[in-house]
Structure 1
Amino acid sequence: MTTPFPFSAIVGQYEMKRAMVLTAIDPGLGGVLVFGDRGTGKSTAVRALAALLPPITVVAGCPVNSATARDIPDWTDVKDTALIERPTPVVDLPLGVTEDRVTGALDIERALTQGEKAFEPGLLARANRGYLYIDEVNLLEDHIVDLLLDVAQSGMNMVEREGLSIRHPARFVLVGSGNPEEGELRPQLLDRFGLSVEVSSPDNVEERVEVIRRRTEFETDHEAFMARWQAEDARLRDRILAARDALGQTITSDDVLTDCARLSMALGTDGLRGELTLLRAARALAALEQAGEVNRVHLRQAAPLALSHRLRRDPLDEAGSGARVSRVVAETLP
């Protein structure tokens, strides 16, 4: 069964779903980091959201999903410049992946059989204009982490090896998931994620039963289940598209900017990335609600997503980073 589980049918996990919707409204937020138990719908949510979004328009056969003929990299051999629609790509980056597989490398087969020096695109090319999903991101090898940091910062993938000098756009929403008990994430990569969420297994019988019921219906009465929930997904898609249109007109007052700065200072976050991301997330929330202007309600809702993973560790505070953010938000933004 290849149809993704409907995004709207995912039971609970409201913060995770909210964070992913915000990245769909403003991909510039920098992606989502989801930490928590296995089997809590992390990968399901990524694929479901991508399936919910409208298809992207690409040049047929272009390996980097170019939107127009003039965007096609000159190293490709694309002849047909007809435009087609394609689902928003979701590309998995597996553990143990080689650098060549990620960035692309010399096409050995063409080099041996035809004597041509040609480029074989990698995973970053396929992920352009879509989602790059990394499961167990905290176990990723350091040199791959460094590579991803460079590409995420620049939006371009550059390959200089084996006589090749290649560059192509690589703009994607980075979604990482993992279990913190299996290893910590490097601070450089942790800070690169715009939003973070901690998820856990449902702690009540009713919610667990509903998860089982919906999954069983999805597998045994697929058409009826999809017909019911695709209508919900369509309504959410319309809200996301309307929010994209409203984002540029959403007003941000100086008072809101001051609140962002005060909150970040009160939490002791390093650098300015925290308040910049907080503001972008609050603007996306306001646009989703068609509020027209960012207010403190939006800041309070966005703060745990944007700031929890940027806090300095406090060994004396056993409440966790999310609880610390909520406490400081209540004190700073009454």
Structure 2
Amino acid sequence: MRIMFPFAAIVGQDQMKLALSIAAVDPSIGGVLVFGDRGTGKSTAVRALAAVLPDIETADCPYHCDPARPDEGCELCRSRAESQIPQKTEAMRVPVVDLPLGATEDRIAGSLDLERALSAGEKRFEPGLLAKAHRGFLYIDEINLLEDHLVDLLLDVAASGENVVEREGLSVRHPARFVLIGSGNPEEGELRPQLLDRFGLSVEVRTPQDLATRIQVVKRRDAFERDPAGFAAEYEAANAEVRDAILAARRRLRGVAVPDATLEKAAQLSIRLGTDGLRGELTLMRAARALAALSGDAVVGWSHLAALAPLALSHRLRRDPLDEAGSTTRVERAVGELAAA
């Protein structure tokens, strides 16, 4: 089994690590968009977090459904549950599926199994990347270069948790719940505003300019490449702490209260920033609740909102020709003004 760079060993990039951890606690937040320089550990962080999480128990089906929740599974798992047929189960690592830029819609959504059709004359569905990513992470590097209709497909499936294929005489519907992670370099093109808005959290990453941080990054990466097993063993305890914190937060999540006063603050912040629709404060509320669960807090307060407002709202702002400040700066300024009011 391939050894992944330890999540706990990643130097800096605290906002990116926080966003990924929150998405792991509550996948309904809507995924994470990471824009920034190349070589800043974006794909490393995604794979490292997935490797930290415990193995998942899967059913004996093409979509590795959750055997504990057959009602949310595929047609095969539901029929087995209704017929009370015992399910064979096995453990597997949380999947991380890379979606290459050249992937076709058939490759992503699934299509007719041509080999089976030609050899046996049988119509059979060949699951695509969306099926493989079920209950895991779907990672798209350079998402700003992906064709718009493919991005639309991915975001629709990520929002509904279900993939529907109606083509070539096939009619297939299967679960596809995953955390969508997109990354890219804004200098190579921007995502359309309506697509940006569909991502739950957005993070801007930059190459560290602090000398000590850069040296530490290089030293750790070099140590890992020279002895992956030994380096991973050094961070095993720290990785276990990350895993335990995420699992504990998942258990606490439903019990975390969100007072009306906190919702009012989230709405005031969105109004002050002029965000369109209500998705901004809804995402901010969910993310703040996940952060409270991670922190062991029973109630969502202003501190949780303030910490996550730049991640949840910065990519939802309209361009202001009269304000040259970046979107993150505008959110931070609005947070400060609301706190002082």
Superposition TM-score tier, normalisation by shorter sequence: over 0.9
Query: Which residue of the partner structure matches residue 329 of structure 2?
Result: 323
**Could you tell me whether the CA contact under 8 Å between 2:74 and 2:175 is conserved in 1?**
no
Q: In the alignment, which residue of structure 1 is the partner of 2:146?
A: 140
| Match of residue 25 from structure 1 | 25
Structure 2 distance, partners of 1:114, 1:80, is 29
1:1-334 to 2 correspondences below 5 Å = 2-60=2-60, 62-68=61-67, 70=70, 71-74=73-76, 81-334=87-340
The alignment's C-alpha RMSD in Å is 1.7
**What CA distance in whole angstroms lies between the structure 1 residues aligned with 2:139 and 2:326?**
26
Stretch moving more, 219-228 or 199-208: 219-228
Deviation at 1:20, TM superposition (A): 0.3
The answer to whether the Cα contact below 8 Å between 2:165 and 2:172 also exists between their aligned partners in 1 is yes
The answer to whether the Cα contact below 8 Å between 1:96 and 1:141 also exists between their aligned partners in 2 is no
Asked if the contact 2:314–2:331 (Cα under 8 Å) also holds between the matched residues in 1, the reply is: yes
Equivalent residue of 2:307, what SS? Answer: helix
Q: Under a length normalisation based on structure 1, what TM-score does the superposition of the two structures give? A: 0.96
Does the CA contact (< 8 Å) of 2:112 and 2:125 recur in 1?
yes
Bigger shift: residues 140-149 or 203-212: 140-149
Q: Which amino acid aligns with 1:42?
A: K
Aligned residues: 332
8 Å contact 2:30–2:159 — kept in the other structure? no
Q: Secondary structure, in 3 states, of the residue corresponding to 1:192?
A: coil
User: C-alpha offsets along residues 293-329 of structure 1, whole Å, 9 cap, x if unaligned?
Assistant: 1111111001011000000111232220001000000
Deviation for aligned residue 1:80:
9.0
User: Could you tell me how far apart the structure 2 residues matched to 1:72 and 1:55 are?
Assistant: 20
Equivalent pair of 1:75/1:119 in contact (CA under 8 Å): no
Q: How far apart, in 2, do the equivalents of 1:154 and 1:239 lie?
A: 27
Q: Is the 8 A contact 1:68 1:83 kept in 2?
A: yes
TM-superposed CA distance for 1:21, in Å, is 0.3
1:157·1:168 contact (CA, 8 Å) conserved in 2? Answer: yes
Structure 2's unaligned 5+ residue stretches are: none
Query: Deviation of residue 160 (structure 1)?
Result: 0.6
Q: CA shift at 1:155, angstroms?
A: 1.2
Task: Write out per-residue CA displacement over residues 267-305 of structure 1, whole angstroms, 9 at most, x where no aligned residue.
Answer: 000000000000011111111111111111111001011
Change beyond 3 A, Cα 1:100–1:326: same
Mapped partners of 1:87, 1:236: distance in 2: 16
Distance of 1:311 and 1:11 partners within structure 2 = 29
1:145-201 deviations in whole A, cap 9, x for unaligned? 221132122211111111100000111100000000100102222111000000000
Q: What is the TM-score when the length of structure 2 is the normalising length?
A: 0.94
Q: In terms of mean alpha carbon deviation, does 180-189 or 29-38 score higher?
A: 180-189
Q: CA deviation at 1:75?
A: 10
Tell me how far apart the structure 1 counterparts of residues 148 and 23 of structure 2 sit (CA, whole Å): 25
Find the aligned partners of 2:62 and 2:248 in 1 and give their Cα distance: 30
Query: Identity, % of aligned pairs?
Result: 63
> What code does the residue aligned with 1:33 have?
L
CA contact (8 A) 2:157 2:163 kept: yes
2-structure distance, mates of 1:118, 1:222:
41
Q: Which amino acid aligns with 1:22?
A: I
Q: Secondary structure at the match of 1:54?
A: coil
The runs of at least 4 consecutive aligned structure 1 residues that moved more than 6 Å come to: none
Distance in 2, Cα, partners of 1:153 & 1:66? 18
Kindly provide the amino acid, as one letter, of the partner of residue 326 in structure 2: G
